[in-house]
Amino acid sequence: MADQRARFQTSDSVELDDNGYGYIRFTPHGESWEVDNISVSVDTTFTDATCRIYQGQIAPQFKVDETFSGSTGDSTDTVFHLTDGESLYVEWTDGDNGGPPVATAVVRGWKTLPGRGFRAV
């Protein structure tokens, strides 16, 4: 049975804390993803947050992209490859506080469902 490949889009939101911080984790389950676009925004834009993208975990050595327009809206066309269970994190820092502001990320790309399934662990 051949692998099945299709376009996908998923999104999530997080309320930023009193320091203007928040993050969202995206993880494929039972499939792999080729992410080719991530759009970010915050519903308040008094202070423009920095938004960083991490692959695997939130730590400096895992940062793969960044924007200084994380509130007013920005997108990346960097391609990220995620296997089953591997995470991509979208993190906002130094955004608006109070309200609380809501940050949103939209992830788009290709998902591949393996024809023979993933190996059991």
Architecture of the 4-113 domain: Sandwich (2.60)
- Mean pLDDT computed over 50-65: 95
- Mean pLDDT computed over 74-80: 86
The residues facing 15 across adjacent strands are 102
| Residue 52, pLDDT above cutoff 90 | yes
Beta-carbon contacts of residue 88 (< 8 Å; ≥ 6 apart): 25, 26, 27, 35, 53, 54, 55, 80, 82, 107
